[in-house]
Amino acid sequence: MARRGGRPQLPAHDPFFRPPSGYEHTAPGTVLRFRDVQLAFLGLIPQRFTATQVLYRTNDLENRPLSTATTVLTPADRRPGELTPIVSYQCAIDAVTGRCFPSYALRRRARAAGSLAQVELLLIAALLAEGWAVAIPDHGGPHGVFGAPYEPGHCVLDGLRAALNHAPFELSPAAPIGVWGYSGGGLATAWAAEMHSCYAPELNIVGAVLGSPVGDLGNTYHRLNGKVFSGLPVMVVVALMHSYPELRRIVEERANAEGRATLERLSKMTTAQAVLRLMKKDMATMLDGPLDELLEMPEVQEVFDAIRLGRSAPSMPVLMIQAVHDRIISVDDIDELARNYRGLGTHVTYHRDRFCEHILLHPMSAPMSLRWLRERFDGRPLDDHLTRTTWPTLFNPSTYRGMARLAAISAKVVTGRGVERRPLSDLDR
């Protein structure tokens, strides 16, 4: 734990994140240790709500024992005997460095400029204002496996198990659970939704909000390489090299001196830093041979096939949100993912926004997401006729009623004042 007045240590150097001897013999979701921490907006403005970090046992891509952390917030004004809903919120970590892990980036005095999790604290506070408990897992595990399949789902689901297993939280297994994430966080949320029925069916997950959940990372790589956001696909390659040793071998054999140096630097960059420094960078310039030749290798194609969503049916209703004019995630890929889920029997409500782009749609769709989660927690019936909406959030009056409340919550976070229970979703009808 950080010294009073000192900075928190990065997860790789913090003894808290080292699992105790013998942890691999415990069940997934077992709490290994815990501590209270202070969160701060942008690492600078301390928040008044109490946060507890829990280190817990989970599994990696190959179902080998692993440990990671989740940061749990519980409402301070819970009524006696109240069944508190729980939301696992997956931040858009989109990086390998521990500086972007929520367990570090959300803490006071964290040096995490360029981490998206620091901004997403505004939406996390909105969940807390709903009166819900919030779990914020390091869904990339201790190695930041951005883009890897299965492991993020393990981390999310076992993080919920750990929150329920930690008696001081007083959370009930009967409480309704929701999962929510956007972009890279939406990808991790989708893995959790797909794996729920086979990996953690005892969890009472009643809804999943998949905001721009990538869908096909292989297509996204081709779409972004050499463009404005080219830092993101190269970051995915760095992360996947940890999960797939054969991919690491192939890339290292073909990388030139510039490429090796860039890949090494990326392992230490935050998301925003990578986007800014590698803007319009073509990965072909980092290799000794043709990029197309590398991408067509069977070993690389196997990785692209393995990391594609849509193999299993989420067992809970799903709200999917995607911008038509998205420069990062192809709307065609999300259209296909929605069709796959429906074909497998999942109830999908798909908001295909005709006006917004990738970044703007996340906050603009927050009132809709909160309302939809509230309806699932309240057990309201799903509208079988409302399976696809296209009316832009920017033209919906209810969006602005919700955004006004979200702005009030954000103002309290930015100024370090307390966030009281006042559901934003009540205003967005």
Q: Delimit the CATH 3.40.50.1820 region(s) of the chain.
A: 27-213+311-427
Closest CA to 63 of 195, 166, 211: 195
- Residue 114 has what pLDDT? 95
Enumerate the active-site residues. 183, 326, 358
Residues 255-274 pLDDT 10s: 999 999 999 999 999 999 99
Residues 31-73 pLDDT 10s: 999 999 999 999 999 999 889 999 999 999 999 999 999 999 9
The class level of CATH for 217-306 reads mainly alpha
Closest CA to 116 of 231, 246, 237, 240: 231
Residues 163-197 pLDDT 10s: 999 999 999 999 999 999 999 999 999 999 999 99
The domain made up of 27-213+311-427 has a fold known as Rossmann fold (3.40.50)
Distances (CA, A) of 355 to 322, 323, 364: 10, 7, 11
Task: Return the residue matching tokens 């999908």.
Answer: 348
- Residue 387 has what pLDDT? 62
Q: And the tokens for 378?
A: 């309240």
Q: Delimit the CATH 1.10.260.130 region(s) of the chain.
A: 217-306
Residues 116-142 pLDDT 10s: 999 999 999 999 999 999 999 999 999
R_g over Cα of the chain = 20
- In a 3-state reduction of DSSP, which class is residue 67? strand
Q: How many CB atoms lie within 10 A of CB 429?
A: 9
Burial (0-12, 13-18, 19+ Cβ within 10 Å), 316? buried
- In a 3-state reduction of DSSP, which class is residue 56? strand
Answer whether 151's CB lies under 8 Å from 243's CB.
yes
Closest CA to 89 of 153, 198, 158, 182: 182
- Residue 1 has what pLDDT? 45
Band of pLDDT at residue 388, cut at 50, 70 and 90: low
**More confident: 373 or 393:** 373
Q: And the tokens for 83?
A: 């069944």
